[in-house]
Amino acid sequence: MFGFTRYYLSDTSCQMTDLLPVVVVHGGAGIIPKERLQLSISGVCAAVRTGYAILKGGGSSMDAVVETVIQLENNPAFNAGCGSVLNVKGEVEMDAIVMDGKTLASGAVSAVRNIANPIQLARLVMDKTSHACLTAEGANQFARSMGIEEVPQESLITEYSRMRWRKNLAPDANPVESQMGKAGTVGAVAVDLEGNVACATSTGGMLNKMEGRVGDTPIIGSGGYADNQSGAVSTTGHGETIMKITLARLILFHMEQGRSVEDASDLGLACMQSRLGGLGGVVTVDPQGHWAARFSSKQMSWAAAQRDIMHYGLYTGEHFTQSIN
Domain that holds residue 196: 22-165+182-323
285 annotated as ligand-binding? no
| Range 300-317 average pLDDT | 97
Asked if the structure places residue 172 within a domain, the reply is no
Residue 159 sits in a domain of what CATH number?
3.60.20.30
pTM for the model stands at 0.93
- pLDDT over 70, % of the chain: 91
Asked if the structure places residue 175 within a domain, the reply is no
Sequence-separated (6 or more) residues with CB below 8 Å from residue 203: 79, 80, 84, 94, 95, 96, 185, 186, 215, 217, 223, 236
Low-confidence winner among 6-15, 41-50, 228-237 (lowest mean pLDDT): 6-15
Q: How far apart are CA 70 and CA 64, in angstroms?
A: 10
User: What is the residue type of 273?
Assistant: Q
Q: Which of 68, 185, 241, 284 is catalytic?
A: 185
CB 101 within 8 A of CB 232: yes
pLDDT beyond 50 at 223: yes
pLDDT beyond 60 at 22: yes
216 annotated as ligand-binding? yes
239 annotated as ligand-binding? yes
Instruction: Identify the pLDDT of residue 221.
Output: 98
Asked if the structure places residue 177 within a domain, the reply is no
Asked if the structure places residue 39 within a domain, the reply is yes
Is 241 in the active site? no
What would the pLDDT profile of 47-91 be if each residue is shown by its tens digit? 999 999 999 999 999 999 999 999 999 999 999 999 999 999 999
294 annotated as ligand-binding? no
What would the pLDDT profile of 100-152 be if each residue is shown by its tens digit? 999 999 999 999 999 999 999 999 999 999 999 999 999 999 999 999 999 99
Percent of residues in the chain assigned helix, strand, coil, to nearest 5: 35, 25, 40
Instruction: Identify the pLDDT of residue 169.
Output: 87
Asked if the structure places residue 4 within a domain, the reply is no
| Range 7-19 average pLDDT | 47
Identify the CA nearest to 111 among candidates 240, 208, 204.
Answer: 204
236 annotated as ligand-binding? yes
213 annotated as ligand-binding? yes
Identify the CA nearest to 28 among candidates 80, 67, 76, 68.
Answer: 80
Asked if the structure places residue 17 within a domain, the reply is no
Per the structure, the count of domains in the chain is: 1
- pLDDT over 90, % of the chain: 86
What are the Cα distances from residue 267, in Å, to 12, 233, 245, 277?
16, 13, 12, 14
Q: Is the bond into 21 cis (omega within 30 degrees of 0)?
A: yes
Instruction: Identify the pLDDT of residue 296.
Output: 95
CB 178 within 8 A of CB 164: yes
Mean pLDDT of all residues belonging to the chain: 92
